[in-house]
Amino acid sequence: MAVQTETRKFKVAEFYKLGEVGILSEDDPVELLDGQIMLMAPIGENHRTVVDALAEILTDQRKARYRVGVQNPLRIDDANEPQPDLVLYNREVIARHPTPAETFLVVEVADASLSYDQQLKIPVYAVAGIKEVWIVDLIRNRIHTHRDPVPANRTYAAVSSFDRLTPVSPREFPDIQIRLVELL
């Protein structure tokens, strides 16, 4: 006789309650995706270097147009609150997490997390209608851009890949140019 198991899905409020009662701590590397508490990969040295360099560049070039969130929650809906590596979001957001409508760009830096980011996070971002997502692929030394979400298909209509020397610009801020070679 086969044993049937069931997965319990969490809502954002329940996820936070786990922290309040001490089951999860602020230092636990977890995020909520599709109602599931997901353990995130440890942050490697190259990953940290690239996140820090991107944060520096994007902060220096913001010109009071956006805020830069670094490894902080993005409130998508009641079942999803991922923690992207970087988020460019509306400056009006104060004392709460930004929402998809307030988000200009999400950046995931991926080495050990590449398949997780591509297979689990990109669909969540697409369904949420986030306009633009970058995956900085440290395995292949490329920046993959995902633009024009197609929520019904859980994907993006425009996906491009750039080598380490080709400049990439956020669609919302075309004056900003980033080359992967400058981040490593």
- What are the residue boundaries of the structural domains of the chain, listed by start? 41-182
**pLDDT tens-digit series, residues 37-95:** 888 887 888 899 999 999 999 999 999 999 999 999 999 999 999 999 999 999 999 99
What pLDDT is recorded for position 6? 77
pLDDT for 143-170, tens place per residue? 999 999 999 999 999 999 999 999 999 9
**Mean pLDDT estimate for the chain:** 92
Average pLDDT over residues 129-136: 97
- pLDDT confidence of residue 5: 76
Residue 162 has what pLDDT? Answer: 97
The pLDDT, as a whole number, for residue 1 is: 62
pLDDT in tens, 86-116: 999 999 999 999 999 999 999 999 988 888 8
Convert the chain into a string of H (helix), E (strand) and C (coil).
CCCCCCCCCCCHHHHHHHHHCCCCCCCCCEEEECCEEEECCCCCHHHHHHHHHHHHHHHHCCCCCCEEEECCCCCCECCEECCCCEEEECCCCCCCCCCHHHEEEEEEEECCCHHHHHHHHHHHHHHHCCCEEEEEECCCCEEEEEEEEEHHHCEEEEEEEECCCCCECCCCCCCCCECHHHCC
133-47-9-120 Cα dihedral, nearest 10 degrees? 50
What pLDDT sits at residue 44? Answer: 81
The two three-digit tokens of residue 12, written as one number: 């954002």
CATH of domain 41-182: 3.90.1570.10
Helix, strand or coil for residue 33? strand
pTM: 0.91
